A and B are shown apart, each in its own frame.
Chain A
Amino acid sequence: MTTPTLKRTALFGSHVQAGAKLVPFGGWEMPVQYSDGVRAEHLAVRNAAGVFDVSHMGEIEISGPDAEAFLQHLYSNDVSKIGIGGAQYALLCNDDGGVLDDLFTYRLDTEHYLTVTNAANHEADVAWLRAHTDGFDVEVADVHDRYAMLAVQGPVAREIVQAVADSPLPGRMRAARRIVLGRETLVCGTGYTGEDGVEILVDPGDASAIWDELLRRGAVPCGLAARDTLRLEVCFHLYGNDLSTDRNPIEAGLGWACSEDTGFIGADVVRAAREGGTAERLVAFRLTGPGIARQGNPVVGGGVVTSGTLSPSLEVGIGMAYVPSAVASVDTPLEIDVRGKIRPAVVASKPLYRHPSKETDG
């Protein structure tokens, strides 16, 4: 199971110590769960706080006088709308409008941006950016080695981090440099769970001290399995499952992250898809009977499940699937072929899970 070529994060020793089950993921040896199991981890994030090592995710720094114009040319969203200290979700598309990656970008300064990539796409993303610098006064730096990344998520996550931070934490979709436990960090008000919380970017050498202190203060260590069930309950896309170069942002339901007027690479295809519609749409579904649909299960009559699991919060099979646009509206019944057994399901509104105390989520 353990291959010597797999990379390890700065927190590898901490994971072993915490009883992690380690698996290969995107070229990294990562904790899939700890000793209490995925359900306990999932519920800890929904009800209190969990901490995830997401250091496998990559970082790219983009700087220079043309940084904004350069990113505007490549990223699907309107990069000019990110103020200093702001954050934005966007897609990286190819000329055909296919999705190369989905990205969070933080504007650290006027001419200085930091983009967080998916682990499996990081090197290709760096190469793609560098291949498009002609005509722009910009520098693209692969800074993956300079950062470890901890996601602290849940209703009390901010309280836990705030107690060891030098000043108030940045709000939702904001990023700011903060001293955490005496270490310089970049704290971002973002996450992948549908809960409040922060993501902390820090020098790898400082990561385990912060990790240990967060655990001591009650954050539950959480692995990739809980990260997956949490994100799927709130219908956040996972690249490789719900996004790929075979799908454009419109059929993926990510038109809100595209601003075609900026003329980004792929914008023409996105505009045509938005105006003309797409043959299929990504929908959320829940099973109306027993069973669990999984990635790759066909939808009867056309379509395919791209993510599926048992929801620990709702205790029912849930997922996302590309289905013909004619059957993509909420409450439409679906049938999913789960390894030869036909399981009834229904198209559900997004997100599938809503925090009981919140009126809106996202």
Chain B
Amino acid sequence: MADASYPEDRLYHPEHDWALIDDGVATFGITWFAQDALGEVVFFDVPEVGTSVTANELYAEVESVKAVSDVIAPLSGEIVEVNTALTDGPEAINEDPYGAGWMVKVKLSDPSEADALLDRDAYVGSLS
């Protein structure tokens, strides 16, 4: 597994999710802290394109050998793309949580929700 990292270009949700916003579409994933706490991810049930997600509510589940955990949407909108590579290679969530381990792309319904998210330093501060 990679070393702990929290990129500057992301926004963070206190439930250990990140969002990267680009022109009204946000990519979601889970943070290094979340994947480390889970342990080896063995199953990610990829959601369907077209599904609506609501900020602060679960939109997917990620499973380690030992347990299942909810994945929380940091922002609201509609899923426009999913990372189908995670079906056969869920370990990408551990190996590259901010890159190949991305989960979904969401067309945002209320971009102002991003104001409630944490920047890198605030999120990292919340971990200690």
The one of A39, A310, A341 that contacts B63, using a Cβ cutoff of 8 Å: A310
Rounded to whole angstroms, the CA-CA distance of A65 and B45 in the bound complex is 60
Contact call A21/B39, Cβ cutoff below 8 A = yes
The smallest C-beta distance from A349 to any residue of chain B, in angstroms, reads 23
Binary A-proximity of B82-93 (CB < 8 A = 1, otherwise 0): 000001000000
Q: Are A294 and B39 in contact (CB under 8 A)?
A: no
Specify the chain B residue showing the minimal Cβ separation from A317. B43
Which A214-232 residues have a C-beta within 8 angstroms of B?
225, 228-229
A30 to chain B, nearest CB (A): 13
Q: Nearest chain-A residue to B36 (Cβ)?
A: A21
Pick from A21, A32, A291: contact of B43, CB under 8 Å: A291
Q: Number of contacts between A and B (CB, 8 Å)?
A: 40
Is B66 within 8 A of A290, CB to CB?
no
Q: Check B40 for interface membership: any CB of A closer than 8 A.
A: yes
A210 to B60, CA, bound (A): 45
Residues of A within 8 A of B42 (CB): 39, 292, 310
Within 8 A of A (CB), among B43-102: 43, 45, 61, 63-68, 87
- Classify chain B: how many residues form its interface, as a range: 10 to 19
B61-A339 in contact (CB<8A): yes
Among B39, B61, B65, point to the contact of A309 (Cβ < 8 A): B65
Contact B68 A39 (CB under 8 A): no
Do the beta carbons of B43 and A225 come within 8 Å of each other? no
**A292 touching B66, Cβ below 8 Å:** no
- The residue of chain B having its C-beta at the shortest distance from the C-beta of A38 within the complex is B65
| Complex Cα spacing A33 to B42, Å | 15
Contact with B along A181-223 (1 / 0, CB 8 A): 0000000000000000000000000000000000000000000
Report the Cα distance A37→B65, complex, angstroms: 10
CA distance A291 to B13 in the complex (A): 27
B interface footprint on A20-47 (CB within 8 Å = 1, 0 otherwise): 0100000000001100011100000000
A312 at the interface (CB under 8 A from B): yes
A37 touches B43 (CB 8 A): no
Contact (Cβ within 8 A) A310 B39:
no
Set of chain B residues within 8 Å of A32, measured between Cβ atoms: 66
What's the nearest-Cβ distance from chain A to residue B67, in Å?
Answer: 8
Cβ contact within 8 Å between A291 and B45: yes
Q: In the complex, which residue of chain A has the Cβ closest to the Cβ of B61?
A: A339
Closest to A35 in B: B1
Is the beta-carbon distance between B66 and A309 smaller than 8 angstroms?
A: yes
Bound together, the chains give a CA A310 to CA B65 distance in angstroms of: 6
Q: Please give me the residue from chain B that is nearest to A294 by CB atom.
A: B68
What B residues does A38 contact at CB under 8 A? 39-40, 64-66
**Complex Cα spacing A37 to B61, Å:** 20
Closest residue of chain A to B70 (Cβ to Cβ) is A339
- Whether B65 pairs with A225 at a CB distance below 8 angstroms is yes
Contacting A at CB under 8 A, from B4-47, are 39-40, 42-43, 45
Instruction: Tell me if A37 and B39 are in contact (CB < 8 A).
Output: yes
| CA of A32 to CA of B66, assembled, Å | 9
Complex: chain A residue closest to B44, CB-CB: A290
- Contact, CB under 8 Å: A310 / B68: no
Which residue of chain A has the shortest Cβ distance to B91 in the bound complex?
Answer: A39
Q: Are B66 and A37 in contact (CB under 8 A)?
A: no
**What 4 pairs between A and B have smallest CB-CB spacing?**
A310-B42, A37-B40, A38-B65, A225-B66
Known: A39-B65, A310-B63. 6 other contacts (CB 8 A): A37-B40, A225-B39, A290-B43, A290-B87, A291-B45, A292-B43
Binding site for A on B (CB under 8 A): 1, 39-40, 42-43, 45, 61, 63-68, 87
